[in-house]
Structure 1
Amino acid sequence: MRIVITGASGNVGTALLRRLAGSDADHDLVGVVRRPPEPVGEYRRVAWHGLDLAKSEATQQLRAVFDGADAVVHLAWGFQPTRNTSYLHQTGVGGTAAVVEAAHAAGVGQLVHMSSVGTYAAGSYGRRVDESWPTTGIPSSPYSRDKSEAEKLLDVYEQKHGASGVTVARMRPGFIVQRVAASGLMRYALPGYVPMLAVPLLPLLPLDRRLCIPLIHSDDVGDAIVRVVERRAAGAFNLAAEPPLTRDDVAKVLRARAIHVPSALLGPLVDLSWRARLQPIDRGWLDMAFTVPLLDSSRAQQLLDWSPTWSSVDALADVIHGVAQEAHAESPPLRRRSMLEQLQRDLTEGLLTTRRLP
Structure 2
Amino acid sequence: MENGSQHPGRRVVVTGATGNVGTSVVRALAEDPGIGSVLGLARREPALEIPGVEWGTVDLSRAESEDQLAGLLHGADAVVHLAWRFQPTHDPVVTWQSNVLGSQRVFEATARSGVPVLVHASSVGAYSPGPKDEPGVDEEWPTHGWPDAAYCREKAYVERVLDTFELTHPQIRVVRMRPGFLFKETAAPEQRRIFAGRYAPGPLLRPDLLPFVPDIQGLRFQVLHTDDAANAYRLAVLRDVHGPFNLAADPVIDAPRLAELLDARIIRIPRALVHTALTAAWKAHAVPASPHLFDAVLRLPVLNSSRARDVLGWRPAHTAEDALNSFLRGVRAGAGEKTAPLAGRKIR
TM-score by length of 2: 0.92
Q: Would you say 1:286 and 2:286 are equivalent positions?
A: no
SS at match of 1:101: helix
**C-alpha separation in 2, matches of 1:197 and 1:315:** 18
The residue type equivalent to 2:70 in the other structure is: R
Q: Deviation per CA, 1:51-73, whole angstroms, max 9, x where unpaired?
A: 11011111111000000010000
Task: After TM superposition, give the deviation of residue 233 of structure 1 in Å.
Answer: 1.6
Task: Provide the C-alpha distance between the structure 1 equivalents of 2:295 and 2:345, rounded to a whole number of angstroms.
Answer: 26
Distance in structure 2 (CA, Å) of the matches to 1:131 and 1:322: 32
> CA contact under 8 A between 1:186 and 1:337: conserved in structure 2?
no
**Aligned twin of 2:94:** 87
CA distance in 2, matches of 1:22, 1:65: 22
Superposition deviation, residue 35 in structure 1 = 0.7
1:305 aligns with 2:310: no
Distance 2:341 2:252 in 1: 27
Give 1:227's aligned amino acid: L
Change over 3 Å in CA distance of 1:146–1:210 after alignment to 2: closer
Secondary structure of 1:313's aligned partner: helix
* Contact 1:31–1:46, Cα closer than 8 Å, also in 2: yes
Contact 2:278–2:290, Cα closer than 8 Å, also in 1: yes
Hey, what's the Cα distance between the residues in 2 that align with 1:184 and 1:230? 30
Query: Residue by residue, what CA displacement relative to the aligned partner does 1:7-31 show, whole Å, maximum 9, x if unpaired?
Result: 0111011111222243333421101
SS of structure 1 residue aligned to 2:142? coil
Q: For the residues of structure 2 that align with 1:150 and 1:26, how far apart are their CA atoms? A: 28
**Cα distance in 1 between the residues matched to 2:110 and 2:81:** 10
Change (3 A) 1:35 1:207: farther
1:24 to 23, 30, 33: 33
Distance 1:238 1:53, change over 3 A: same
* Structure-2 separation of matches of 1:45 and 1:36: 16
- Which position in structure 2 is the counterpart of 1:331? 339
Cα pair 2:17 2:82 within 8 Å, conserved: yes
- Residues 40-59 of structure 1: CA deviation (Å, up to 9, x unaligned): 2xx35322111110111111
2:256 paired residue among 248, 254, 260 = 248
Corresponding residue of 1:34: 43
- Which of 226, 242, 259 is the equivalent residue of 1:234? 242
- Among 17, 20, 25, the residue aligned to 1:11: 20
Equivalent residue number for residue 82 of structure 2: 75
Q: 2:202 corresponds to which residue?
A: 196
CA contact (8 A) 2:224 2:247 kept: yes
1:320 corresponding residue in structure 2: 328
Q: Say which of 67, 77, 81 aligns to 1:60.
A: 67
Distance 1:113 1:225 in 2: 9
**Paired residues for 1:260-279 under 5 Å:** 260-279=268-287
Contact 1:328 1:334 in 2 (8 A): yes
* Shift in Å, 1:306: 0.7
Q: Distance in 2 between matches of 1:211 and 1:337?
A: 30
Q: Distance in 1 between matches of 2:58 and 2:347?
A: 28
Shift of residue 197, structure 1, vs aligned partner? 1.0
Per the alignment, do residues 189 and 106 of structure 1 end up closer, same or farther by CA in structure 2, a change over 3 Å counting? same
SS in 2 for 1:27: strand
Q: 2:333, 2:346 within 8 Å by CA — same for their partners in 1?
A: no
- Aligned residue number for residue 122 of structure 2: 115
Instruction: Report matched runs for 1:93-104 at 5 Å.
Output: 93-104=100-111
In 2, are the aligned partners of 1:210 and 1:247 still within 8 Å (CA)?
no
Deviation at 1:252, TM superposition (A): 2.5
Identity %: 39
**Amino acid in the other structure paired with 1:99:** V
Is structure 2 residue 113 aligned with structure 1 residue 106?
Answer: yes
Give me the whole-angstrom Cα distance separating, in 1, the residues matched to 2:276 and 2:78. Answer: 43
Which residue of structure 2 lines up, in the alignment, with residue 51 of structure 1?
Answer: 58
Q: 1:18 to 1:205 in 2, by over 3 A?
A: same
Give the Å deviation of 1:253: 2.4
Contact 2:30 2:53 in 1 (8 A): no
Change (3 A) 1:338 1:87: farther
By how many angstroms is 1:256 displaced? 2.7
What does the per-residue CA deviation read over 1:259-301, in whole Å, with 9 as the maximum and x for residues that have no partner? Answer: 1112232122211210112211101221122101011111110
Equivalent AA in structure 2 for residue 25 of structure 1:
G
Matches within 5 A, 1:129-208: 129-161=137-169, 163-164=170-171, 166-200=172-206, 201-208=209-216
Structure 2 counterpart of 1:144, which letter? Answer: C
What amino acid does structure 2 have at the position aligned with 1:129? V
Gaps in structure 1 of 5+ consecutive residues: 341-358
Using the TM superposition, give the Cα deviation of residue 156 of structure 1 relative to its aligned residue in structure 2, in angstroms.
0.8
Tell me which amino acid in the other structure corresponds to 1:82: T
In structure 2, relative to structure 1, the CA distance for the partners of 1:338 and 1:54 (3 Å cut) is: farther
Aligned counterparts of 2:124 and 2:58: Cα–Cα separation in 1 = 27
Report how many aligned residue pairs link the two structures: 336
| 1:125 aligned counterpart, secondary structure | coil
Indicate the SS of the match to 1:294: coil
Q: TM-score, normalised by structure 1?
A: 0.90
What RMSD, in angstroms, separates the aligned Cα atoms of the two structures? Answer: 1.6
